[in-house]
Structure 1
């Protein structure tokens, strides 16, 4: 995980959120449909193509989230496959939260993440507001948490070692449990670290991140990070490696592991170059060559796009 800056595109995000809410209040300014505090109906309408995808008004909120996150999962940092639809939309503050319990949850999340404090409020609180015209909504600085783009992040959706999903897995681990919003905390890049063996630690974890840390320390992900820790030690333009031929990949791995014979490397390393797979394809290279923006002892930040 790393910090997602929700302020950089906040004007575009606010425009999309307001456009959706104006449509909700268009039929009856006192009885919006769907109501902004409807956990299912509101978000399902917001996911409609006219808001989610690019159109004549804006670039759509799916592309906005992907731009905020450099097209990477908010949890494991794998590159998201936006064209294949393998994306899950994560609510940082769970959309089912409401009432006094919801306010308690909001207090927790807002105390950790400035963007949630400044740009989001609980949806049932928002619905208590009275508007004279749809244009009044434009003046609202905080959007209802069910559809507020400051409260949404894009995550993996699928199975880690499936040929059809290329290793996506992060959509169901958390559920609706409270989770420190580390990816929206400005000090995330200092508190989330990986060692040379690819093991993730979060230094400011208050216990609510235990489950996702365990998931992100899956053997496959640790293995991938450990390989990238070695590869990133080589002085190379990491923005071009996805176009490498098999020969170029092998030479890169040899330099990273300081060997002259590529076949001397363990199978669990060689397969990431795409040289050996069970079906003769480039599965591991295609699945993981997108790289992981991670920090090894706070030093490595850049990996392939």
Structure 2
């Protein structure tokens, strides 16, 4: 994980959110459709191509989220591209939150993440506002949490140790449970650490991060991070490695692990060079490269 700066493109985000809300209030300024506090209908409409993808009005909020996150999963730092599978959209404050319980949850999240405090409010609170014209929405500094882009992040499909499995997202087990919004906390880059064995630790944890820490410390992710901790010791131009031949990959691994015999390395290391793939594919090599963010992370830790 790393800090996601929701302020950097907040003007763009506000414009997209307002454009969507104006459309909701277009038919009847007193009866928006869908209502901003409809947890399913509002977000499902917001996910429509006309708002999510590039169009005549703006570059779409999918691209906004990807740019905010440097095209990385908000949890595991996997590159969000075709090899990572479906992109999932995560609500930091769960979209089902409402009423007094929702306000309690909002206060918790807002106390940890300034962007949520400054740019987001609970959808049922927003829905109680009365507007005389669609243009009035432009003056609202905070957007309803169900569609507020400051409350949304992009995640990968979460399954990575098989050629054929597909999952929901890295944080699938969370559901609506409270989770400290670590990636929106300004101290995230110091708070989140990975050791040379690929083990993730989060220093500032009130217990609500235990589940995601366990998920992000699964064996495959620890293997990948540990491999990068070694590979970064042989400095390489990352823009060229995707075209490495198998021989070049093996030499890189040999130098990084200080061995002359590549076969002496454990299987859980060798497979990431693409040397063991039973069907001749480069599945594990490409999977490793999806996590190349860790090359620079470990390089700076040396």
- TM-score, structure 2 as length reference: 0.94
Residue 77 (structure 1) aligns with? 77
Distance 1:167 1:177 in 2: 19
Distance 2:252 2:48 in 1: 44
Backbone CA RMSD of aligned residues: 2.0
- 2:177 match: secondary structure: coil
Distance 1:4 1:46 in 2: 21
Unaligned runs of 5+ in 2: none
Deviation at 1:87, TM superposition (A): 1.0
Residue 272 (structure 2) aligns with? 272
Residue 102 (structure 1) aligns with? 102
In the alignment of these two chains, the number of paired residues is 301
Residue 116 (structure 1) aligns with? 116
Deviations 1:96-128 (A, max 9, x none): 000110000000000000110111000011111
Deviation at 1:71, TM superposition (A): 1.2
Unaligned runs of 5+ in 1: none
Residue 252 (structure 2) aligns with? 252
8 A contact 2:13–2:149 mirrored in 1 = yes
Distance 2:203 2:80 in 1: 26
Please tell me whether residue 48 in structure 1 is matched to residue 58 in structure 2. no
Distance 2:120 2:91 in 1: 12
- 1:227 match: secondary structure: helix
8 A contact 1:193–1:294 mirrored in 2 = no
Deviation at 1:260, TM superposition (A): 2.0
Residue 291 (structure 1) aligns with? 291
Distance 1:248 1:166 in 2: 31
Q: What does residue range 110-259 of structure 1 map to in structure 2 within 5 Å?
A: 110-157=110-157, 159-164=159-164, 169-259=169-259
- TM-score, structure 1 as length reference: 0.93
- Specify which structure has the higher proportion of helix: 2
- 1:189 match: secondary structure: helix
Deviation at 1:166, TM superposition (A): 8.0
Distance 1:200 1:43 in 2: 32
Residue 67 (structure 2) aligns with? 67
Structure 1 residues 218 and 98: CA distance shift in structure 2, 3 A: same
**Where do 4+ consecutive residues of structure 1 move more than 4 Å?**
82-85, 164-169
Distance 2:167 2:282 in 1: 13
